[in-house]
């Protein structure tokens, strides 16, 4: 059986998150000290070699992303994506609440690698109490002088899901309406106020101090070779233990749900699990032995995404759940591009019709075609990923749709 392995949560409940002294006693800021003794190029090479891949959804190689920042850029920025707007996801909040200094140290390590003097944490608007904690942590780090000439400020999001998309987030920090930008250029070349900017997720930054301290090989040897390390997961829905865990990426979904989650609530039968948040695919029982790493999840049409694990028991109405998700995407589409603005609206319309028992087989064909087009042509990940719950449930749970069509 897979055991929990804690890297980013190693200090959770062992230190007082309000006291920088506690963090320092656990070796805190030694990773930054070591990073600063390295050249920028060597530090980037080390992170690239560790194969740390982004924990915010797209799983891009972290060191490779940093290497896109021009070495001769005069002004650069580091931005931490703490928008965490995905329903059912709270892993970044836990990471920050349990150990805020670790995030600051990770950002400062990145600051050294890309020659940035300023960092911003873009925090979900619904977490005002975490903003206060972060500000107190920043004050303590400043007065201890551990951050050197690297400054960090917190910015609060306004509650739009799309603002988690890195270029919409940058627009939002700049004070504009949060809409994704056309890419290229990517933020590494032209980001905040047109300057090269690294945007990484909380969990990605939080891994950095231990990677620098213990070396790239140490990290690369943990979990799945192509997506090494651990992943913080949050278990929700019809599961006995609604907990957060940190496991090596070789753990399987079955282990996560049944060993750590204690199985389906009240001894009920398992029906499906949605991994990665609202845009994640729905996975049936026969695929539960798939490991949670990004590539294995993708191979079954699912996504690891944010690490949200939403379990559904046999009583759940899949079509109704997908209809609600379609409504969520229709509401959260920023409207900038046609395929998403119109597509999410049509998907919601068709799902509502089917759910009411008034849908036809033609509706299913139309929605499948529409979803496949949206995956390819929408401007940002919101529109591109929004058909995934529809397409995966049509793949694995089509009988539930057909049952509703039959009674029409």
Ligand X SMILES: Cc1cc2nc3c(=O)[nH]c(=O)nc-3n(C[C@H](O)[C@H](O)[C@H](O)COP(=O)(O)O)c2cc1C
Q: Which residues bind ligand X (CB under 6 A)?
A: 54-58, 60, 81, 83-86, 161-162, 164-166, 199-201, 204, 380-382
Q: Residue 31 in contact with residue 212, Cβ under 8 Å? A: yes
Residue carrying the six token digits 């539930």? 400
- x/- letters, 132..171, toward ligand SF4 (CB under 6 A): ------------------------------x---------
Which residue number, 115 or 384, has a Cβ lying nearer to ligand SF4? Answer: 384
Q: Choose, by CB under 6 A, the member of 10, 65, 336, 404 that binds ligand SF4.
A: 336
Helix, strand, coil percentages (3-state) for the chain, rounded to 5, are 50, 15, 35
Question: x/- string (CB under 6 A) for ligand SF4, residues 341-360?
Answer: x-------------------
137, 101 contact by CB (below 8 A): yes
- Of 15 and 199, which CB lies nearer to ligand X in the complex structure? 199
340 binds ligand SF4 (CB under 6 A): yes
Residue closer to ligand SF4, measured from CB, 291 or 306:
306
Least distance in angstroms from the C-beta of 383 to ligand SF4: 3
Q: From ligand SF4, ligand X, none, which one binds at residue 55 (CB under 5 to 8 Å depending on kind)?
A: ligand X
Tell me the C-alpha distance between 251 and 242, whole Å: 17
Rule CB under 6 A: say whether 109 interacts with ligand SF4: no
Partner whose binding site includes residue 140, from ligand X, ligand SF4, none (CB under 5 to 8 Å by kind): none
Secondary structure of residue 52 in the 3-state scheme: coil
Among the listed residues 346, 347, 340, the one whose alpha carbon sits nearest the alpha carbon of residue 383: 340
Compare residues 287 and 334 and give the one whose CB is closer to ligand SF4: 334
**In the bound complex, what is the minimum distance in angstroms from residue 218's beta carbon to ligand X?**
20
Instruction: Judge contact between 275 and 88, C-beta under 8 A.
Output: no
Q: In this complex, which beta carbon is closest to ligand SF4, that of residue 317 or of residue 332?
A: 332
Backbone angles phi, psi at 227, to 5 degrees: -145, 70
The closest alpha carbon to 157, from 135, 139, 175, 132, belongs to: 175
90 or 150: whose CB is closer to ligand X? 90
276, 222 contact by CB (below 8 A): no
- Specify the residue, 300 or 340, whose C-beta has the smaller distance to ligand SF4: 340
Q: Is 380 in the site for ligand SF4 (CB under 6 A)?
A: yes
Stretch that binds ligand SF4, among 75-83, 238-246, 274-282, 333-341 (CB under 6 A): 333-341
When binding is defined by CB under 6 A, the residue of 197, 236, 333, 393 that contacts ligand SF4 is 333
Q: Is 303 helix (H, G, I), strand (E, B) or coil?
A: coil
The Cα–Cα gap between 103 and 92 comes to 10
Q: Which does 326 bind (CB under 5 to 8 A by kind): ligand SF4, ligand X, none?
A: none
Long-range contact list for 356-364, CB < 8 A, 24+ apart?
357/404, 357/405, 357/407, 357/408, 358/408, 359/401, 359/404, 359/405, 359/408, 360/405, 360/408, 361/405, 364/394, 364/401, 364/405
Question: Which CB atom, from 317 or from 375, has the smaller least distance to ligand SF4?
Answer: 375
337, 354, 367, 394: residue in contact with ligand SF4 (rule CB under 6 A): 337
Measured from the CB atom, the residue of 178 and 229 that comes closer to ligand SF4 is 178
Q: How many residues bind ligand SF4 (CB under 6 A)?
A: 14
Binds 334, which of ligand X, ligand SF4, none (CB < 5 to 8 A, cut-off by type)?
ligand SF4
Our finding on whether 383 is near ligand SF4 (CB under 6 A) is yes
Phi and psi at 310, nearest 5°, equal -110, 110
Q: What's the closest the beta carbon of residue 384 comes to ligand SF4, in angstroms?
A: 7
Find how far residue 253's CA is from the centre of its chain: 17
Rounded to whole angstroms, the Cα distance separating 72 from 143 reads 30
Query: What is d(CA 386, CA 29) in angstroms, rounded to the nearest whole number?
Result: 40
Residue 378 lies near ligand SF4 (rule: CB under 6 A): yes
- Maximum alpha-carbon separation in the chain: 70
């Amino acid at each position: 059986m897979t055991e929990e392995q804690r890297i980013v949560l190693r200090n959770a409940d062992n230190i007082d998150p309000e006291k920088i002294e506690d963090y320092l006693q656990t070796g805190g800021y030694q990773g930054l000290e070591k990073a600063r003794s390295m050249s920028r190029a060597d530090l980037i090479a080390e992170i690239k070699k560790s194969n740390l891949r982004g924990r915010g959804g797209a799983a891009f190689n972290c060191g490779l992303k940093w290497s896109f920042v021009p070495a001769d850029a005069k002004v650069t920025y580091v931005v931490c994506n703490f928008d965490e707007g995905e329903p059912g996801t709270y892993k970044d909040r836990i990471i920050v609440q349990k150990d805020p200094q670790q995030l600051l140290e990770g950002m400062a390590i990145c600051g050294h690698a890309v020659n940035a003097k300023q960092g911003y944490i873009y925090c979900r608007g619904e977490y005002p109490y975490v903003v206060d904690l972060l500000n107190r942590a920043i004050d303590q780090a400043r007065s201890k002088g551990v951050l050197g000439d690297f400054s960090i400020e917190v910015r609060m999001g306004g509650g739009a899901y799309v603002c988690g998309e890195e270029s919409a987030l940058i627009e939002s920090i700049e004070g504009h309406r949060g809409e994704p930008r056309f890419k290229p250029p990517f933020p590494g070349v032209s980001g905040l106020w047109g300057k090269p900017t690294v945007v990484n997720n909380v969990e990605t930054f939080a891994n950095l101090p231990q990677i620098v301290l213990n070396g790239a090989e140490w990290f690369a040897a943990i979990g799945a070779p192509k997506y090494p390390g651990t992943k913080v997961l949050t278990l929700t829905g019809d599961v006995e233990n609604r907990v957060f865990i940190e496991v090596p990426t070789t753990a399987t979904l079955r282990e996560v749900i049944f060993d750590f989650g204690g199985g389906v609530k009240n001894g009920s039968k398992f029906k499906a699990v949605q991994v990665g948040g609202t845009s994640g695919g729905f996975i049936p029982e026969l695929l539960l032995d798939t490991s949670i790493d990004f590539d294995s999840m993708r191979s079954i049409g699912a996504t690891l995404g944010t690490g949200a694990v939403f379990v559904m028991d046999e009583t759940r109405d899949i079509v109704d759940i997908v209809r609600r998700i379609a409504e969520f995407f229709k509401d959260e589409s920023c409207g900038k591009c046609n395929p998403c603005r119109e597509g999410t609206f049509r998907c919601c319309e068709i799902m509502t019709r089917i759910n009411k028992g008034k849908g036809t087989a033609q509706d299913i064909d139309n929605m499948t075609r529409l979803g496949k087009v949206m995956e390819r042509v929408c401007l940002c990940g919101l529109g591109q990923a929004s058909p995934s719950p529809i397409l995966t449930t049509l793949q694995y749970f089509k009988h539930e749709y057909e049952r509703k069509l039959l009674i029409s």
